[in-house]
A and B are shown apart, each in its own frame.
Chain A
Amino acid sequence: MSFTAFVDGPFWYFSATVFLIGVLWRLVGMLSMGSKPDFSTPRKSGTAAAIGINLTRFFPRADFWSRIRLQVVAGYLFHLGLFALLFFAAPHIEFYREYITGFGWTALPEWAFILVSEIAFLGLMLLILHRMLNPVTRAISDRGDYIGSLLIFLVMLTGCLALARSHEVLRVTHFFLAELLLIYFPFSALMHTFTFPFSRGFMGAHYGRRGVNV
């Protein structure tokens, strides 16, 4: 079996399986720990607050803006750019149609693809530089943070290089790295993609019961 066939076939199924089972394993493992009952009389609904914080927490409080704007802007550039690339890049839509959904949807025009790629790259680079240069993030970051950042950077880089699809080796390299990222994902802090609604929800409910909008 050629490397291309391996990447397009068995390794794809293997990485997708590790990703799905790993994510589910961790989520179910965390949530099955349950919570003790809270007998205090709530001031307001915790459930409403859990939902509310999941929306409001996308927008940082004005109180903190002057101290956190770089991280917030960089974070938004990266995450929005990555989201657009993941779900609206023509080659990805074609991939989803062929391997997962069976149907496709409207893709970004090529100029928009290039634009969002640059936006995502800019955001990612700023975040990596901030992690390396800021005394706080440098002190609290671990190997996993750098491995995740590096993998995402390489996946995005090879993805952009493979855009023209004129070189099969670039496409296969991009796909292979994306598969490595899928395997790494459930073992890493990239899991925040799925855990943040729960994390926010628990906090929102805790404070919401007390009538505090956090």
Chain B
Amino acid sequence: MAIDMNVFRGFAEQIKMLPQMARPTDCPDNERVNHLKAVFSTKIDASNATQLESCVHCGLCAEACQFYIQTEDPELTPIHKLDLLKRYYRREKAPLRWLHRLIEPDITEADLEATQHLVYESCTECGRCGLVCPMGIDIAAMVHVTREGLAHAGLIPAGLRAVEQEQGSRGTVFGVGPDQLRQAAEELRAKGHEVPIDKAKADVLVLTSTIDVLLFKDALEATVKVMNHLGLDWTIHSCAFEGANFGLLSGYSEVQKSASERITSQAIALGAKMVIVPECGHAYPALRWAGANAHGAPLPFEVMALSEFLGREVMAGRLQLNPIGTGKHVTYHDPCKIGRHGGVFDEPRAVLEALGVDMREMPSNRTANFCCGGGAGLFVMEKAEPMRNAAFDLKRQQVEATGADSVVTACGSCRINLMAGAGRTQWTTPIESLVELVGANLK
């Protein structure tokens, strides 16, 4: 399961070029604050209100944040990242807004620019801070609301904006569209795999991602092998194969909705009973939890993360695996968006158990797992590199504390960030894909 490191380096170079590819935003400078306020106005609800009103500034959230733990910079305190939203709430929505308007200054464009770094390049929306807050403040959710406000104010960081613009205008990500998908399918067919593309009807719509098409081709191949091994009536659709949703990551809700609806409408047209999301962390909540709200109604099909699907099949006895051997010690990195934000914990561990490996949990695992540092689009933000590195160093400590021979995960972005960190620090511990392990050990 070797990864072509030349492709990996090329991918990293492509990411560095993204800021130059971003088009200027269409939001005039003098309209930014109004655009932000318009978004905040629609997003503030009873949940945000009670949570913003409950903060006692205890600072515990900092003690859960990987970026604060690694840097000890008070600026990175998670609740501080909500100052902009909180000020809007106090002046415009709070029951005591008449009082706050007397004592708190209005939001300025400079405030927006000062917040951009905090909510984009210094937060992966991993949600770990919410676990420690005694008031139960879901800071990650409100960081996302702030991102949405800034996105509509034209302040998405350039690298992330370039990909969001591409997905919004052309429907492709990193230039990967139907042609590149078909080419990848041809390569798999040449290896003897049946790859159904664009079937008119199918029970299962399988999504993939640009990362798998370009870089982690073995993950795509393993996915194809599993689907065929299980004898499912499945297809990949060239008009709706991309699981990644850069509208969600950037906070640009129109692109989020269109990307999500492209999949939903195709799944409905296929008569699909299930949509399987690839090893791409945020793609899961983008469809599983936000997809129905983008659609405006419950989805008429089941949405499963690939790791969730594999685990379910293993637990049901439909998917049997050859044991790798107890001599292999592995630890599992829970992708935040699939684990803490998605509830998928037991299934990947069931797969690893079926593979017969010696599973060793990290000191902080499952719900309390530390993010890889590349989530929420940080892996395409150039200025986020110090934060990504800081998070990787912490994750490396966590992995090494287990004594595991390798770290397994079920998210391409996590793999990229871990691989980048490993390359930077000459860390030799293999970073493996769950589906690749399954694909290589089908019984």
B58 at interface (Cβ–Cβ under 8 A)?
yes
Which of A189, A191, A210 gathers most chain B CB within 10 Å? A210
- Provide the residues of chain A in CB contact with B196, threshold 8 Å: none
Given A214-B130, A214-B367, A135–B72 Cβ distance below 8 Å? yes
B111 at interface (Cβ–Cβ under 8 A)?
no
B295 at interface (Cβ–Cβ under 8 A)?
yes
Q: Which residue of B lies closest to A143 (CB)?
A: B103
- Chain B stretch 248-305: residues in CB contact (< 8 A) with chain A: 288-293, 295-299, 302
- Provide the residues of chain B in CB contact with A131, threshold 8 Å: 57
Q: Which residue of A lies closest to B298 (CB)?
A: A39
Interface-located stretch among A60-68, A84-92, A113-121? A60-68
Chain A: interface size category: 35 or more
A104 at interface (Cβ–Cβ under 8 A)?
no
A66 to chain B, nearest CB (A): 9
Interface-located stretch among B62-70, B219-227, B324-332, B386-394? B62-70
A76 to chain B, nearest CB (A): 10
Interface-located stretch among B17-25, B187-195, B339-347, B404-412? B339-347
Would you call A139 and B74 a contact (CB within 8 A)?
yes
- Provide the residues of chain A in CB contact with B244, threshold 8 Å: none
Which of these, A137, A138, A187, A212, contacts B341 with CB under 8 Å?
A212
A194 to chain B, nearest CB (A): 9
Would you call B134 and A187 a contact (CB within 8 A)?
no
B356 at interface (Cβ–Cβ under 8 A)?
no
How far, in angstroms, from A135 to B73 measured CA to CA in the complex? 8
A153 at interface (Cβ–Cβ under 8 A)?
no
Would you call A43 and B343 a contact (CB within 8 A)?
yes
- Provide the residues of chain B in CB contact with A36, threshold 8 Å: 45, 293
Would you call B95 and A25 a contact (CB within 8 A)?
yes
Which of A57, A196, A199 gathers most chain B CB within 10 Å? A199
- Chain B stretch 372-400: residues in CB contact (< 8 A) with chain A: none
Given A26-B96, A30-B50, A140-B80, A71–B60 Cβ distance below 8 Å? yes
Given A68-B132, A137-B59, A39–B343 Cβ distance below 8 Å? no
A204 at interface (Cβ–Cβ under 8 A)?
yes
- Provide the residues of chain A in CB contact with B62, threshold 8 Å: 136
- Provide the residues of chain A in CB contact with B288, threshold 8 Å: 40
- Chain B stretch 32-68: residues in CB contact (< 8 A) with chain A: 44-51, 53-60, 62-64, 68
A9 at interface (Cβ–Cβ under 8 A)?
no
- Provide the residues of chain A in CB contact with B64, threshold 8 Å: 64, 67
- A contact set with B: CB distance below 8 Å: 25-26, 28-36, 38-41, 43-44, 53, 57, 60-61, 63-64, 67-68, 71, 75, 131, 134-142, 145, 187, 189, 191-192, 195-196, 198-204, 206-207, 210-214
